[in-house]
Structure 1
Amino acid sequence: MTTTTNAVRALGSGLTGAIVLTVLHETVRQFVPQAPRADKLGERVLIKGIRAAGHSAPAEDDLYVPAMIGDIASNALYYSLVGLNDGKSPLLIGTALGTAAGLGAVMLPGPMGLGEKPTRRSTATSAMTVAWYLVSGIVAGTTYKLMKMF
């Protein structure tokens, strides 16, 4: 197995995990009032970055698509780490990555100046946040494991 093959598997697995995460966030928020709002966090990150670069932030309505693209891209790269350790233990690595990302998504936005409401406004919101990142890490690890079989 070549390094390129491992990288492609890792990136594909990471993208799969990222898409699952985004679908969970975007679907459940339509029906559950306490659902996490990763979309709002993404928009706030963009606003903060644009302002730090000395520019005026665009209207909030214009931020949704770029925020989603950024979320999927960054989460895909993050979850592609399931290919670490030469692809050994991708489920364990995916579980660890998902848990760490979920806890980070709950604990870090406040101290980073992004607000706590999107992922921490209730116990249910926090629990869903951690669970969805965990599920996405497991999906990425499982995808990598399945891709190694072919």
Structure 2
Amino acid sequence: MKKTLGNLVGGLVGAAVLNIVHQAVAQFSEDAPRVDKVGEEALSKGLDKVGVQPPQGEKLFLTTLAADVISNAAYYSLIGMARRKNIIGLGLASGLVAGVGALALTKPMGLDDKPITRTKKTKYMTVAWYAIGGLAAGLVIKSLRK
């Protein structure tokens, strides 16, 4: 149970770091990826498909943010499945895979990929932010294993 809790805490920290970096850099750089916009579109389309009126404005942003934190926390918590000595490397690798996945899967899922693929810099930042989140998760999970 203690290991599972540590994995969940690490995953939550990684997801929080990812979202804080995304939102902070978006305030200062027009090249910053806007994963939140992709998430809002995905949430709206998903709710429409099941006949539910999607939220609008700030409520849509907050609902998407909550869903993003929960899903990324669950994903990053899987890093804890590795042996302690491999956790940081797996955290970084998991983050890189998530970032590349965001770039590669958005359009095939029927979503507008421009918010994360506008420029080369935007693409690099997308992958880097997910990698930072994975690394943060790995560091926390490893430190909680001591």
TM-score under structure 2 length normalisation: 0.94
The CA distance in 1 between the partners of 2:43 and 2:76, in whole Å, is 21
For residue 32 of structure 2, the aligned residue among 21, 32, 35 is 35
The CA distance in 2 between the partners of 1:61 and 1:141, in whole Å, is 32
The CA distance in 1 between the partners of 2:84 and 2:71, in whole Å, is 20
The CA distance in 1 between the partners of 2:34 and 2:92, in whole Å, is 22
Contact 2:82/2:90 (<8 A) preserved: no
Q: What runs of 5+ residues in structure 2 fail to find an aligned partner? A: none
Indicate the residue corresponding to 1:82 in structure 2. 79
For residue 142 of structure 2, the aligned residue among 139, 142, 145 is 145
What is the number of residues matched between the two proteins?
Answer: 146
Contact 1:96/1:137 (<8 A) preserved: yes
If asked which structure has higher relative contact order (CA below 8 Å, sep 6+), I would say 2
For residue 116 of structure 2, the aligned residue among 114, 119, 143 is 119
Q: CA RMSD in A?
A: 1.2
Q: What runs of 5+ residues in structure 1 fail to find an aligned partner? A: none
Q: How does 1:1-150 map to 2 (within 5 A)?
A: 4-85=1-82, 87-149=84-146
The CA distance in 2 between the partners of 1:42 and 1:20, in whole Å, is 17
**Identity level (%):** 41
Query: Would you identify which runs of 4 or more consecutive aligned residues in structure 1 move more than 4 Å?
Result: none
Contact 1:95/1:134 (<8 A) preserved: yes
Matched letter for residue 41 of structure 1 = V
The CA distance in 2 between the partners of 1:55 and 1:16, in whole Å, is 31
